[in-house]
A and B are shown apart, each in its own frame.
Chain A
Amino acid sequence: MSRVHTIIGGVALAGVLSIGAYDAMQAAGDWHRMGPVSAGTSLESFEVHRLDGGTLGHAELVGKISVVTFWASWCGPCQGELADLDELDDTYATRDEVQFVAVNWEGAGYTQPQRRAITAGHAKKIGLGLPLAYDDGAMVRALRIRGVPHTLLVDAQGMVRKVYPGRVRASTIAGAIDDLLEE
Chain B
Amino acid sequence: MARVERALSRWGGALLAPRRTVAALSPGEGLRDGLVLGSLYVLGTSVYPMTVAIATVIATGSLVALASGVARVLLTPIVVLVVVETLLGAQRSYRGGLTLLPMVLVTVLAHLLAVLQLPTLARFWPDVIGAGLTVAFALWIRPAIPPEQPQEST
Give the contact stretch, choosing among B9-17, B82-90, B137-145, B146-154: B9-17
Which B residues are CB-close (under 8 A) to A7? 12
Main secondary structure of the interface of B (DSSP, over half): helix
In the complex, per-residue mask of B98-122: 1 if CB is within 8 Å of any chain A CB, else 0: 0000001100100110010000000
Tally of chain A residues near chain B (CB < 8 A): 32
A165 to B56, CA, bound (A): 8
Beyond A34-B52, A163-B59, whether A19 also contacts B115 by CB under 8 A is: yes
Q: Report whether B9 and A165 are in contact in the complex, using a CB–CB cutoff of 8 Å.
A: no
Q: Report whether A19 and B108 are in contact in the complex, using a CB–CB cutoff of 8 Å.
A: yes
Number of A-B residue pairs, CB cutoff 8 Å, is: 107
Does B62 make an interface contact (CB < 8 A)?
Answer: yes
Q: Report whether B115 and A165 are in contact in the complex, using a CB–CB cutoff of 8 Å.
A: no
Q: Report whether A9 and B8 are in contact in the complex, using a CB–CB cutoff of 8 Å.
A: yes
Beyond A16-B44, A19-B108, A166-B65, whether A5 also contacts B59 by CB under 8 A is: no
In the complex, per-residue mask of A1-15: 1 if CB is within 8 Å of any chain B CB, else 0: 110111111101101
Main secondary structure of the interface of A (DSSP, over half): helix
Tally of chain B residues near chain A (CB < 8 A): 36
Nearest A residue (CB) for B50: A27
Q: Report whether B43 and A1 are in contact in the complex, using a CB–CB cutoff of 8 Å.
A: no
Q: Report whether A35 and B55 are in contact in the complex, using a CB–CB cutoff of 8 Å.
A: yes
Does B64 make an interface contact (CB < 8 A)?
Answer: yes
Min distance, Cβ A34 to any Cβ of chain B, angstroms: 4
A15 to B106, CA, bound (A): 12
A165 to B64, CA, bound (A): 9
Beyond A15-B112, A19-B44, A19-B111, whether A165 also contacts B60 by CB under 8 A is: yes
Residue in B48, B51, B62 whose CB lies within 8 Å of A165: B62
- Interface hits, A70-97 → B, CB 8 Å: none
A12 to B115, CA, bound (A): 17
Nearest A residue (CB) for B37: A16
Nearest A residue (CB) for B10: A9
Beyond A17-B43, A19-B112, whether A12 also contacts B11 by CB under 8 A is: yes
Interface residues of B (CB under 8 A from A): 5-13, 15-17, 21, 40, 43-44, 47-48, 51-52, 55-60, 62, 64-65, 68, 104-105, 108, 111-112, 115
The 9 closest A-B pairs by CB, nearest first: A35-B55, A9-B8, A8-B12, A9-B12, A34-B55, A5-B12, A23-B47, A20-B43, A35-B59
Given contacts A6-B12, A8-B11, A16-B44, 16 further A-B contacts (CB under 8 A): A4-B12, A5-B10, A5-B11, A5-B12, A5-B17, A6-B8, A10-B8, A12-B105, A24-B51, A27-B51, A34-B55, A38-B59, A163-B59, A163-B62, A165-B60, A166-B64
Interface residues of A (CB under 8 A from B): 1-2, 4-10, 12-13, 15-17, 19-20, 22-24, 26-27, 31, 34-38, 146, 163-166
